[in-house]
Amino acid sequence: MSEKPSSGELFGVPYNFDRPSLSNLLSAYWQPGEGMLVEKPFGVGYTLNLANWRSWVVLAVAGVLLYQQQSGDDSEDGVVDEAVEVVVDE
């Protein structure tokens, strides 16, 4: 019986199911000179390259949006809907 490969590419998306080491994990997320997205050290797809400034912009925008969503939920709890009278002329 043939053994399946534990890393490679499927339909242009990389995958890697080799057991990662700590140094491999750290070097995968910090790759100076590479683009914003790099291959994940374990799993399927891509992840952010923290050595690229664009990744920090993406993380900051995501953090701001998350903060706005959580603070927006709190303000809606105190809102009381008032009854509205609708008059229809026939």
Amino acid letter, residue 18: D
Percent of the chain scored above 90 by pLDDT?
43
Let me know if residue 86 belongs to a domain: no
Let me know if residue 2 belongs to a domain: no
Torsional class of 11: left (φ above 0), alpha (ψ -120 to 50), beta (otherwise): left
Domain count, the chain: 1
Let me know if residue 27 belongs to a domain: yes
**Token pair of 82 as six digits:** 């008032």
Rg (CA), the chain: 24
Terminal Cα-to-Cα distance of the chain (whole angstroms): 81
Q: What are residue 44's phi and psi, to 5 degrees?
A: -120, 135
What integer pLDDT is reported at residue 8 of this predicted model?
86
Domain housing 66 = 7-75
The partner residues of 9 in beta bridges, in order of sequence, read: 14
Average pLDDT score over residue span 16-41: 90
**Token pair of 9 as six digits:** 């590419």
- Kindly report, residue by residue over 34-51, the tens digit of the pLDDT: 999 999 989 999 999 999
Let me know if residue 43 belongs to a domain: yes
